[in-house]
Structure 1
Amino acid sequence: MAYGKSCHLPVEMEYKAYWALKFLNFDETASREQRRLQLLELEERRLNAYKSSKLYKEKVKKYHDKKLLKKDFQPGQQVLLFNSRLKLFPGKLKSKWSGPFTIKKVRPYRAVVLCDPQSKDPNRTWVVNGQRLKQYHGGAIERLNIVLCLDPG
């Protein structure tokens, strides 16, 4: 020890330098071939992952399409409309389906023109997505009108 520091003898320094040179002076052709094999293996794994994810997506799509119900609506048929905007004051037992409404016309791509037979203006119509509809099989529906008074005074 010299002044509290460790001391390296010249023989140790020479040995470490020799070891580092030996480690860094590896065979270039062997390392190049090894790197090429690693890249090929990586590409093969990527392709396998792509194929497996594609197969998975096809299976999920087939399963999802199998669960979908075909809804064929005819003009004059009565349907219920799903109200997806019922989030301001959600009630536990309040139904999100409103209606019944009568189908006036069926357009391409599942667009349906509805009219409300119980409204004041029977000519009032609107277009909705056919996926928001379900067939109405009859029965009495109690229509609830909720009036909220927001005036504190």
Structure 2
Amino acid sequence: MWLHAYESFRTYKDKVKFYHDQKLMKRTFHPGDLVLLFNSRLKLFPGKLKSKWSRPFMVKRVYQSRAVELESSTEDDQQRRWIVNGQRLKHYVGGDVEQFASVMMLVDP
């Protein structure tokens, strides 16, 4: 009976892992890409309008273990580099966005 419960649990666990792995997005980063860094410290201070993602950083180097070396330049022209886990990053797709507007003239009948 114990062996049957163990096998049932193992089958359930494999199915849940397969379902979860299907939902994961594979992200590949290349040197020169702009990325956003997840800031886990903001979880301590909940707020609706606080962003969990830090400003865009530039990828300098990507390691085989999916670690990524980031570079940040500040207003003082100091370059700061550090290595983070690639799972804490997402691509930055911001920048200048063109906005189109259409004008409709309404006339009373």
Aligned to 1:30: none
TM (normalized to structure 2)? 0.79
Instruction: Pick closer, same or farther for the CA change 1:65–1:87 going to 2, 3 Å.
Output: closer
Shift of 1:94: 1.3
Q: Deviations over 1:101-134 (max 9, x none)?
A: 0000001221100011345312x20111101100
Structure with the largest fraction of helix: 1
Larger radius of gyration: 1
- 1: CA distance, partners of 2:63 / 2:92: 20
Give the total of aligned pairs: 95
Higher relative contact order (CA 8 A, sep 6+): 2
Unpaired stretches in structure 1, ≥5 consecutive residues: 1-44, 141-153
Structure with the largest fraction of strand: 2
Unpaired stretches in structure 2, ≥5 consecutive residues: 97-109
Q: State the identity as a percent.
A: 61
Q: CA RMSD in A?
A: 1.5
Q: Which amino acid aligns with 1:115?
A: E
* Structure 1 runs (4+) greater than 3 angstroms displaced: 87-90
TM (normalized to structure 1)? 0.58
